[in-house]
Amino acid sequence: MFDIAFSEMLIIAVIALVVIGPEKLPKVAKTIGHLLGKAQRYVSDVKSEINREMEIDELRKLQAEMQAAATKVEGDVQTTLRDAEFDMNKAVKAIEDDIAELEGNTPPVAPAAGASVGPEKKPAQLTEQPVGQTTGQTAEQSTEQQAPSGSAPKAEAK
């Protein structure tokens, strides 16, 4: 803190001895020592508090930078996924058009410029049904229709 040389301290001690006197000098020196210790602790506490606040500010800045970087990466990933989805839908549409052209069902239709390709519908899948059974009928109803009208269904035995 203060730059005091040994000779200056010696002069201060001699003046204190003359002014205060030899009886009170030890008590005054002890009190001054305590006060200087308290002052040093106070200065140390203030310095550590300032350093702590500076570190907190640096961490907040770092957190804001990381948050901004994470947001940017998230946006980039979403853009990449949208582009990939668009390319995939375009490829699926092209394959479906090629299949339709090969089957001779319909001529391929090119999408309008700038038009986005929406979610694609899957071609209807064929489902196998037992002979004589129509949609919405249960197996028992189908059996009843196939059985002659004069015969009664057998009762279940327990």
Domain encompassing residue 11: 7-109
Domain annotation covers residue 22 = yes
User: Is residue 126, in this structure, part of any structural domain at all?
Assistant: no
Number of domains in the chain: 1
Tell me if 156 is assigned to some domain.
no
Residue 33 lies in a domain: yes
Dmax (CA) of the chain:
143
Does 93 map to a domain?
A: yes
Give residue 61's pLDDT: 96
pLDDT in tens, 97-145: 999 999 886 555 555 555 555 455 444 444 444 554 455 555 555 455 5
Asked if residue 44 has pLDDT above 60, the reply is yes
Residue 34 lies in a domain: yes
* Residue 141: inside a domain: no
Question: DSSP H helical segments within 3-24, as ranges?
Answer: 6-20
